[in-house]
Amino acid sequence: MTEATATDANLRVITITRDIDAPPAQAFNAWVDPKEMVHWFYGSDDWTTPFAESDAREGGEFRIGFGSPDGKNDFVFYGIYNEVSGPDRVVFTIGDGRPVTVNFIENAGKTKVALDLTLEDINSAEQQRQGWGAMINHLAAYLGRTPHAAGKASGSLTINRTFDAPRELVFKAWTDPVELAKWWGPKYFTNPVCEVDPRVGGKLRIVMRGPDGGEHPMWGVFQEFMPPARIVFTNIAVDANDNPILDGLTTVTFADHGGKTRMTLHTIAVGLVEGAAQMLAGMEAGWTQSIDKLEALLTAG
């Protein structure tokens, strides 16, 4: 549970703590690596993180895009790193000049995250506590789902695309098995098997068939399911005997953009077998071709 206390009304500092089921090095890396930040650095469930940039060193800057649900209140959250002492501590100054300190404290293989935030106005304490507390909760949930990449080949990718279609329709294309089967997979691939149980804890199973007739099965589990705004699911590529070969996590958000839909996809994958690096090398092309097919489907519809 996230806890927050006002440490000194005169100093206007609040402390937020959260126990996270991950080692400090993993929590620290998720806080400063832009490929990880895009998965969890958002304060409200219906907002998105279209991009993140991070130069994690003393004097380095970070920029994080926050996408509003209606696309009308987007903004960029930015700051400067004052101290980067991995895996124990990060200190940064946010755009309005206020300092933030985050400590990662090891506790039996897990981590206590302790964030100290200086307030601009003591009256904003509850709002700030809720916003930062939600972000740390999202960090904990993300780390609880994230494949471990230590010593293994891994890859990550972010795709932003705006479709000329309402987000309810785009969301359906991702979660209805009939629609999903029409576009999932690289160019010239088909999906003879596409099963979706659209709910938190529900499973999806897809068997892609390539132009050469070879089949490529995968399965996953929905970790978050928030129509029509957001889905998070694991995606595990398996061999013919159902042995995992790639372990992935994908976050997709859908924001209304004047009747159109701005989709943001963040995905990471870890190789589990020899030769996985070659498969990961095709990750960008495969996802990009899939989204191209989705766009063509939505345009045709």
Asked if residue 131 and residue 96 are part of one domain, the reply reads: yes
> Mean of the pLDDT values across residues 74-89?
95
According to the model, what pLDDT value does residue 1 have?
47
Residues 130 and 168 in one domain: no
Q: What is the pLDDT of residues 164-205, one digit of tens each?
A: 999 999 999 999 999 999 999 999 999 999 999 999 999 999
- Token digits for 248? 């992935």
Of the listed ranges 52-61, 67-76, 191-200, 243-252, the one predicted with least confidence: 67-76
Out of 145, 162, 191, pick the residue that ends a domain.
145
Give the CATH number of the domain where residue 10 resides.
3.30.530.20
Residues 73 and 96 in one domain: yes
pTM of the model: 0.78
Give the total number of structural domains in the chain.
Answer: 2
Task: Say if residue 170 is in the same domain as residue 59.
Answer: no
Tell me: do 105 and 169 sit in the same domain: no
Least confident of 130-139, 150-159, 210-219, 239-248: 150-159
Domain membership of residue 8 as a residue range: 3-145
Question: Six-digit token pair at 221?
Answer: 């589990």
Cβ-count burial of 280 within 10 angstroms (0-12 exposed, 13-18 middle, 19+ buried)?
buried
Q: Report d(CA 178, CA 191) in Å as an integer.
A: 10
Query: Which of 97, 123, 145 is a domain's end point?
Result: 145
Q: Is the same domain home to 28 and 85?
A: yes
Q: Give the pLDDT confidence score for residue 165 in this predicted structure.
A: 97
Question: Looking at residue 237, what is its pLDDT?
Answer: 94
Q: Which of 125, 145, 165 corresponds to the end of one domain?
A: 145
Three-state SS for 62-111 is EEEEEECCCCCCCEEEEEEEEEEECCCEEEEEECCCCEEEEEEEEECCEE
pLDDT in tens, 123-169: 788 888 888 999 999 999 898 888 766 667 888 999 999 999 999 99
Query: Do residues 134 and 176 both lie within one domain?
Result: no
Mark whether 205 and 289 lie in a shared domain. Answer: yes
